[in-house]
Structure 1
Amino acid sequence: QPKSSPDPKFFIGKGKVEEIKATITSGGVNLVIFDEELSATQQHNLQKELGIKVLDRTALILDIFAQHAHSHEGKLQVEMAQLTYLLPRLKGRGTEMSRLGGGIGTRGPGETKLEVDRRRIRKRIKTLSDRLEQLGVNRSIQRKKRKKSRVPVVSIVGYTNAGKSTLLNTLTGARARVEDKLFSTLDSSVKRLNRGQKGTVLFSDTVGFINKLPHQLIASFKSTLEEIKESDLLLHIVDATNADLGNYLRAVEEVLTEIGAINKKTVLVFNKIDLLDRVALARLK
């Protein structure tokens, strides 16, 4: 029976929980993923009830981001988002935080392991925040230099895996990583296009957007997303063959609104248009 609002205990109803338990019991299931964000309590209750690990949409996206972060800044941004997500989800005896390394304060008198873990995470988040703030200052200085030189900056934005890096490579002759994967580009890349007497244009390839992009990521990638906000023009690239085109467009516009870039001058660029038949092309127009 459909619910008008998510169940506060499990997000889903008890009947659906029992249905999932039956599927798990039948064998071969060791992980359950929800395509929604669960509260810390809901995730804890589900794991306790189902007896296996439960991930929500945010945790999955953060994990994918972690796999594709290559630059120093990208790794810092993803780690901060992960820890911000993890902090309210520490329950019971806490989790192992050994991967955070040394240099963290020792256990205080009377502190439980959970309290120590929380303190370590908060301290690490503060360290990451300070480092990212400094990197953000450096980015800001670079942007001011570009503005002073009057070199126009064009940011390529769009849904993840829409073809942004391919467009960047085509326009500038760059060799940005191109893969048929979600979020293959996390690290902002700025490339130069020399147009001879017409001057130079800088093109910025940015992280791909997705429907319901976790707020932790938007906050952590603030300095990177500032590149979009400060651009002179946005190229919004869209996969023309996507059957869910309208929702993808809205998802990108929602993120642009959240970062304050929705009113930037934007050119819509349709990728893979050569793969459309006449009917689909006419519908697109």
Structure 2
Amino acid sequence: MTTAATPLPPRATGVGALLREWRDRRRVSQLELALRAGSSARHISFIETGRSRPSQEMVLRLAEHLDVPVRERNALLIAAGYAPAYPETPLDDPSMDALRAGMEQLLTGYEPFPALVLDGRYDVRAANRGVALLLEGVDPALLQPPLNSMRITLHPAGLAPRIRNFAEWRGHLLAQMERQLALLRSAPLRALYDEVSGYPVPGSGGDRDPAAPGAVPAHSPAHSAAPFALPMMIEHRGTVLSFLSTIATFNTPMDVTVSELAVEAFLPADPETAAALWNAVR
């Protein structure tokens, strides 16, 4: 059973303390960071202790070598007394037209397999017809905008009762959120985690009762179709579909909004699932 994520300690405020915090998270020594950034361990030490104020260029260089998320790079710059370097453009802004069109084209290309675009709070920003198929039977209240993928998946009035390996899939999703919370001080994400981790788990131990009508035995082909990755096994119109989840993000994003977008696609884990989806759209 996945336990609640450990509350984050109060955030340091100075840029030196913040950089030290990121260096500790990445398990990088001052000397190693200095070599990566073309600096000296002495200078890194002075920055971290507040004896030296880093330039804007140095803050960004250190953040890059520590793989700091774009939103948090802005926080580092503000702590150092500089203006944020990365804008946060609303996805519906006209300047994002080409980006939205490209994502829509990508989602269409995945059909009939489900694919959707998520933001940093797991809100669904776009989805294809394959996703609509899986949402049949979900409580309409959960489908009111903004749709949230974690809420829809884990809520007992959402997909949860139909996911045959729910305990495993729930653990996977909560662990994914915990990894994000370890990097981002996001109050909305923390609130979402606290909400969805508190939902009741259908059945004994999270999975359906093996003796229940239509339950899938542990040795069934659907359960063993993808031993190399955890599938999501979901009942749809009397058939158990098995999917592998893949997530794609943008390389070197220069905008906070874009940095937090992800395209998640659910690919068939077996020929039966692929056939069922193709038949559903004919």
Instruction: Normalising by structure 2, report the TM-score.
Output: 0.27
| TM-score, normalised by the number of residues in structure 1 | 0.27
Higher relative contact order (Cα pairs below 8 Å, separated by 6+ residues): 2
